Amino acid sequence: MPSPYRAVFDAPGTLAFSAAGFLGRMPLSMMGIGVVTMVSQITGRYGLAGALSATLAMAAAVMGPQVSRLVDRYGQRRVLRPVTLVAAAAVAGLLVCAQQGFPEWTLFVFAVGAGCVPSMGSMVRARWAAIYRGSSRDLHTAYSWESIVDEVCFIFGPIVSIGLSTAWFPEAGPLLAGVFLVIGVFWLTAQRATEPRPASPKDRTGGSALRSRGLQVLVSAFVATGAIFGAVDVVTVAFAEERGHKASASLVLAVYALGSCLAGAVFGLLHLKGSPSTRWLLGVCAMAVSMIPLQLAGSLPFLAVALFVAGLAIAPTMVTTMALVEQHVPRTQLTEGMTWTSTGLAVGVALGSSAAGWVVDASGARAGYVVPAVAGALAAAVALRGYRRLAEPAATGGRGEDDRDLRNDGEHVA
C-alpha cells in the first residue's frame, strides 16, 4: 500500500470500520443488477426487471436521507440496526414472491421496503471526517481510499451476483447481497470508538441539508450521472445476452469499475492544487464525453475497452464531490449531506435503468446505449450551469469554514 494510504490507517480502528463498510456496500453493486438478472431469467422481461431495479433505487433515494438525518441526531448504532433488519426482511419477501410467481404488485411492495437500506458509504466517510477533520490532505487520501473500495465492490459485486444467479439459482445474487448488508451494518455499528458523536440539541441545524445551494447542484448533476450507471448496467446485460454470453456482462461491468478503481488509486496519491469545483466540472464533462464511444459498440471486447476508458473519470469525480459536500454542508449534517449525493445517484439509477429497459425491449440492446449518452449530456449541462454556486464560499460550518477558523485561531485540530 503506498505510504499516503498506509498513513491514514495509523489511527486506531480505521481498518476495521473500512472493512465493515466494504461488506455493507457490496449490496450497492449486487442488489440492483441481481434483481435485473433474477427477473429477466424468471420472466424474460427486461422492462419489468428495470422497473423493479428502479423501484429499489427510488425507495432508497426517498428513505436514505431520512435515515442519515436520524443518524446525525441519534448516532449510527441506534438507527442503522433496526432499519437494516427491515430492509433485510423486505429483500427476503421480494425473493420469495419472485420464486413463487406471486402477482407483480407484490414484487414492487417488497422492493419499496428494501429501500430502507442505509447509505454505508456515507457512514464510513463520516467516520473518516470525524478523525481527520482539519487535515484536508489526509481526508483527501481517506476519501480516495473509500472510492477505491466502492469500485472494488463494483468490480466483484456484479460478477458474484450475476454469476450466482445464472449458475446456481436466480435468487442467489440478491440473497447474498442481503446477507452482506446485515453482516456489514452490525459489524460497523459494533465499533463504538470510531462512531461520530451525534449532534447535541443546541448544535443541531434546523431543516434539511439540501437547503445548501452548492449541495443542490451536486445532487442535480448526480441524478443525471446515476442515470448513466443505471442504463449502462441494464443495457450491458442485454447486450451480452443478445450475443449469447449473458454471464460475460458481469466481467464487462467489472472492467468499467476497474478503470474507476485505478484512477481513484492514483488520484489519492496526488497533492492537488486549484479549485475543487473546477476539478469536479472537468470530471463530470469527461464522464459525459466517455459515453460517446459506446454508440459504436459492436462486440463485447470493444465494449469492455470503451467502458474501461469511461471508468477513469468516475472515482476522481466522486472524491471531489465529497470534498465539496464538506465545504457546502454544516458539520452537524454531514452524513445527511453525503447521503443526498447518493440519493441523487439512486434517483438517476432508477430513471436510467427503467428508461434503458424499455428502450432495450423496444429497439434492442445497442440502441439502449443512447440512454447513458443523453444522461451524460444532461449531467454536463447541469454542472456547467451550477458551477458558480460551487465556486462560491459557503458559510456553513463545513470544512472550508472550519479551516478559516483554524487559521484565525492559530490552532490545528486533527
Top pLDDT among 309 and 170 is at: 309
Top pLDDT among 92 and 410 is at: 92
**Residue 242 CA to chain centroid, in angstroms?**
28
CATH number of the CATH domain containing 242? 1.20.1250.20
Q: Give the percent of the chain with pLDDT over 70.
A: 92
* Region of residue 398 (left: phi > 0; alpha: psi -120 to 50; beta: else): beta
169 CB-near residues (< 8 Å, 6+ apart): none
If you average pLDDT over every residue of the chain, what do you get?
A: 82
Q: Which segment of 11-15, 78-82, 118-122, 198-202 scores lowest on mean pLDDT?
A: 198-202
Model pLDDT, residue 64: 83
Could you give the CA distance from residue 171 to residue 182 in angstroms, rounded to a whole number?
17
Model pLDDT, residue 306: 93
Q: Which domain holds residue 322?
A: 14-191+209-409
**Domain contains 142:** yes
The secondary structure of residue 369, as a DSSP letter, is T
Place of cell 458474484: 160
Which of 380-383's residues contact partners 24+ apart within 8 Å by CB, and which partners? 380/284, 380/285, 380/287, 380/288, 382/217, 382/220, 382/221, 382/224, 383/217, 383/221, 383/280, 383/281, 383/284, 383/285
Grid coordinates standing for 246?
A: 449473458
Read off the pLDDT of residues 203-238 as tens digits, 9 standing for 90 and up: 556 667 777 788 889 999 999 998 998 899 888 888
Range of 216-220, 268-272, 340-344, 390-394 with top mean pLDDT: 216-220
Model pLDDT, residue 319: 84
Domain count, the chain: 1
- Give the max Cα distance, the chain: 66
**Domain contains 76:** yes
Place of cell 445532487: 219
Read off the pLDDT of residues 23-66 as tens digits, 9 standing for 90 and up: 998 888 788 778 888 887 887 777 788 788 778 877 887 888 88
- Produce one character per residue of 339-364: b if its CB has 16 or more CB atoms within 10 Å, e if not: bbbbbbbbbbbbbbbbbbbbbbbeee
Model pLDDT, residue 379: 94
Model pLDDT, residue 203: 57
Top pLDDT among 372 and 39 is at: 372
**Domain contains 9:** no
Could you give the CA distance from residue 48 to residue 57 in angstroms, rounded to a whole number?
14
**Domain contains 4:** no
Quick check: 284 and 317 in contact, CB under 8 A? yes
**Domain contains 369:** yes
Model pLDDT, residue 407: 31
**Domain contains 6:** no
**Domain contains 201:** no
Could you give the CA distance from residue 196 to residue 123 in angstroms, rounded to a whole number?
9
Model pLDDT, residue 163: 80
Model pLDDT, residue 403: 37
Model pLDDT, residue 143: 85
Per DSSP, the three-state class of 243 is coil
Tell me how far apart the terminal alpha carbons of the chain are, to the nearest angstrom: 23
Model pLDDT, residue 200: 64
Top pLDDT among 165 and 82 is at: 82
The secondary structure of residue 229, as a DSSP letter, is H
Model pLDDT, residue 33: 78
pLDDT value at 289 more than 90: yes
**Domain contains 383:** yes
Entry pTM = 0.74
